[in-house]
Amino acid sequence: MFKYAVFFFLLCVIFSCGKPQDTANGEAISYRVDSLVIDSKEHIFDLRYSLHVSDYCQEDGFLYNYSAFDHSIEMIDLDRLELVEKFPLHKEGPDGTGSWVFNLTSKGNGNLFLASEIGAAIFNLEGKFLKKFDWKKIPRAAGGITDVEYIQQIVANPFFENLAFALVVDQLTNNTKETKHK
């Protein structure tokens, strides 16, 4: 009986290995890698966040990137593929952005929405404060937050100049809610 099992097994192996592969049903996988070479003018770009703290403005054609190296905004022309200018920011003071900027949205007309550990505001390219979004100063019914809540994430809509959204977490109940600020 054992001889027949071995014979049957070898017969299966011979026929399964001898069959030509059918290439008509195979699918080709293709991909394309696109990259840019930017003239940095001997400046080292801050890419440690993989451009997550950057935004492309369709209005003026510039890519705005936050550089944590020197707390500045890098303005890159994607048509000419070069660094155009750097704009320094202040961490503290009346035009202070905070020390850790985690969200940047271009609002057009040279204005940028920046969110950091101290809140969110709109600044111009010279680093001047234009408008602050403070959820603690508006009533709770209008989207404000209480003392036991904190803002987890802030996002601005580039098409509405004075509108921002926040994901708020209640520290006592660990519940979340969405809120907007006008």
Report pLDDT for 84: 96
> Is the CA virtual torsion 4, 6, 7, 9 positive or negative?
positive
Report pLDDT for 119: 82
What is the mean pLDDT of each successive set of 10 residues along the chain, which is 182 residues long?
63 60 67 84 87 91 94 94 95 90 90 88 92 80 78 79 81 75 68
Return the structure tokens found at 27. Answer: 């699918």
Return the structure tokens found at 68. Answer: 């944590």
Report pLDDT for 139: 78
Report pLDDT for 20: 58
Residue 95 maps to a domain = yes
CA angle 69, 80, 122 (to 5 degrees): 50
For residue 174, count CB atoms less than 10 angstroms from its CB and return exposed for 0-12, middle for 13-18, buried for 19 or more. Answer: exposed
What type of residue is 125?
Answer: L
Residue 118 maps to a domain = yes
Question: pTM above 0.85?
Answer: no
Report pLDDT for 180: 67
Domain count within the chain:
1
Contact 182, 162 (CB under 8 A): yes
- Phi and psi (nearest 5°) for 18? -90, -10
Domain housing 119: 50-181
Residue 124 maps to a domain = yes
Residue 59 maps to a domain = yes
Residue 88 maps to a domain = yes
Report pLDDT for 145: 80
Residue 2 maps to a domain = no
What type of residue is 175?
Answer: N
Residue 33 maps to a domain = no
Residue 17 maps to a domain = no
